[in-house]
Amino acid sequence: MEKRNLRNNVFFSIIHHLVAVTVGLIVPRLILKQYGSGINGYTYSITQLLSVITYFDFGVSSVAQAALSRPLVEKNWSLISVIYQAVKKYFRVLGIGLFFYVIFLCGYYSFSRTDYSVFFSVSLVLCLAVSMIGQYLFGLTDQVLLSADQKMYICTMVDIVAISVNGLATYFGIKQGFSIQVVKLVTSVIFLIKPLLLHWYVLKRYQLLNCVSNDRYDIPQQWSGLVQHIASMLIISLDTIVLTICSSFHNISVYNVYTFPLNGLRGLVTSVGGGYKSFLGQALVSESEETLSKEFAKFEMLFHFFANLVFCVSVTMIVPFVKIYTTGVDDAEYINYPFSYLIVASYALLILRIPYTTVINSAGHFKETQLYCVVEMIVNILVSFALTTQYGLVGVTIGTLLAIGYRLIASVIYLRRNILTRKIKYFIKRVFEDLVIIVIYGMISHRMIVKADSYLAWSGYAVLATFIFLMISMVVYSISDLKVVVAMVEQVRKSHK
């Protein structure tokens, strides 16, 4: 059952991110053409600042999922219900906090930034905020429970439908010439349907109505989980916040164009990690350390492979993609090679650290590792603000890269000392494999000059770059760690029987 849920989580997450990337590539392009780089950057800036409230979301969600792992295995419906009610109460409080934060943003964009009128700014903030408030009031508690029970694919299936309908509605709204506010309001209303459907499913599937407890329950380590989540979300959102304060909306638009396809790739890869999170959480409870170490070895190799894939192919293909994507948009300079290299490296490191932070979170070690998160935040904030004014996009990305690198090393060391007791030499071996693959790929790919003026031509080059990478990786991993490769292939073969 656990393996089947894991497969469902991974499969539907992959479909979800393919749909999200497809819709996400089409919609911003339409906004760029219809409203210009300024509006595109302005909308992205507001969206990212609204997402700050999610810093207070999965800090609790992660620790709640860890707390739910054992009760779900034991079918302890009484304790499950108590935790569910505690999480629900927490998100309701945050919903109220979000309301006041939205009011603050209305004032900030109306008076501190004079690029647009007060009415334009306030209406756009409110339209973008509708669905987020609805998520906190109705849907996130159910999502936490489903994720802890390895049924995140239920949420994913509903989201696939919502994203598809939203994409169609946005396309027709822009084609009809509606204002950006109307287009975004339609988006928000469509996404309000998701939490209602999830709540209906949870009430039908789980025995919560018969065993709701009024006892007070404190979610274990919720504040440590909050610190963890703030650090993780800052890595994603801080760049936009810094650019909003220290730079221009045109630079934010450039940043958005580069990071959206990278976010799509990262989301696709992270979906595998998300599927493993609840699986590893239950394995920590019920499996031996030897079994867990074998599972982690496969998990680790898989994500080093993904990180190398994203880095190598993206370094080659992202600037040619941006050239095609921004054809006809000449109100900002979108070609920036130094920034492209740094941002690709940042996203590759984010993927590289997933196996280590996933096991730490699955084990519920939030308080023990919160200092690492605080240091990561400080490095990110200080370096980004110090360098952005002078170096712009390059400066803000250097801060992100240094912060991610620190957290990666800290997580590897903590995992070795406190959870899996794996020797550091295994991580060093993986890094050596990474460097060998990257160097060989670079020696071969630098001879490939990408001259693509259409998505079809670009796709051909992308397939070629991916094929080169796959051949190199296959040889390197087979020589370096054939036993793990065979175990992974055998697992895939069994899963399809």
> What's residue 495's pLDDT?
52
Please choose, from the candidates 66, 188, 83, 224, the residue with its C-alpha nearest in 3D space to the C-alpha of residue 141.
83
**Domain locations along the chain:** 1-220, 238-497
pTM of the model: 0.69
Rounded-to-integer distance, Cα 287 and Cα 224, Å: 26
Distance, CA of 236 to CA of 225 (rounded, Å): 17
Residue 237, pLDDT score: 73
Both tokens assigned to 225? 């989980």
Give the whole-angstrom CA distance, residue 336 versus residue 396.
14
What pLDDT, in 10s, does the model give residues 290-300? 667 777 887 88
Which three-class secondary structure state does DSSP give residue 211? coil
Say what angle helices 424-445 and 289-325 make with each other, to 10 degrees.
30
Nearest residue to 313 via CA among 250, 357, 362, 269? 269
Output the pLDDT for position 1: 47
Cα pseudo-dihedral 282, 286, 290, 291, rounded to 10? -60
What's residue 348's pLDDT? 94
**447: Cβ contacts below 8 Å, ≥ 6 apart:** none
- What residue type is assigned to position 111 of the chain? F
Residue 194: φ, ψ to 5°: -55, -55
Residues of the chain with pLDDT under 50: 1, 211-214, 496
The angle subtended at Cα 59 by Cα 54 and Cα 64, nearest 5°, is 125
